[in-house]
Amino acid sequence: MSGSILDELFEHSKAGDSVAFTSLYRDTWQKLYQLAFRKTQDEEEAKDIVQDIYIQLWQKKENIHIQGSVEAYLYSMTKYELVRRMQRSLKDEAHRFDYRQLIDTLTHADDQQLFAEELEAQLKKEVDALPTKQQHIYRLHQEDNLSTEEIAQELGLAEQTVKNQLGHAKRKIRLAIKDHMLSVIFFF
């Protein structure tokens, strides 16, 4: 579809025309998905990125003033979202704490079992302390090995909500266990 028609669809979308927005989506999503998939090599992640782009576009449509074509704008949005997610992934990777490696380096073989049991007990305690919704999502993901998409379907929630809740739960648990493990190490 030509750029001028896409630009016109976006202008109608800005006025609240959901049919025009749906047409814009149908005519442009595939190129954005291909870009996202080429960079992530993950179908679900690519779908999430494209979905987030269109959600942002719809929510902020009144405030968006595109200088060039809407197609180029969507392409740029996708690239920025890819960069943002990559940065977040690298940041998460940098903050991961390998407790098993820490235990192995700081303890004797006799103490490792004790540390492992202590860690497991603390993990259970922290999971039990989570808010009910986060706890349920965390258990479905960790214990039942369900994907975020499967959890969203089972609980009737948006997949992004599940991802957010899971992220909050993991962050709370990670921080609490990190503090606990440091106090245990200093005790020994």
What is the domain-level CATH number for residue 49? 1.10.1740.10
Q: Which domain holds residue 18?
A: 3-93
Question: What is residue 2's predicted lDDT score, i.e. its pLDDT?
Answer: 59
Total number of domains in the chain: 2
Give the tokens for residue 31. Answer: 């190129």
- Domain closes at, from 51, 78, 93: 93
Residues 34 and 79 in one domain: yes
In whole numbers, what is the pLDDT of the chain averaged over residues?
A: 80
**Nearest Cα to Cα of residue 75 among 104, 39, 116:** 39
Question: Which long-range contacts link 71-78 to residues 24+ away (Cβ below 8 Å)?
Answer: 71/3, 71/6, 71/28, 71/31, 74/28, 74/32, 75/31, 75/32, 75/35, 77/53, 78/32, 78/35, 78/36, 78/49, 78/50, 78/53
Residues 66 and 32 in one domain: yes
- Domain closes at, from 73, 93, 113: 93
Residues 88 and 101 in one domain: no
The string of pLDDT tens digits covering residues 146-185 is: 899 999 999 999 999 999 998 888 888 887 777 666 555 5
- Domain closes at, from 69, 93, 117: 93
- 32 close to 53: Cβ distance less than 8 angstroms: yes
What span, in angstroms and rounded, lies between the C-alpha atoms of 173 and 141? 14
Residues 8 and 87 in one domain: yes
Residues 46 and 33 in one domain: yes
Residue 69: phi and psi, rounded to 5, are -85, 155
The string of pLDDT tens digits covering residues 60-103 is: 888 888 888 888 889 888 988 888 888 777 766 555 555 555 55
Residues 148 and 131 in one domain: yes
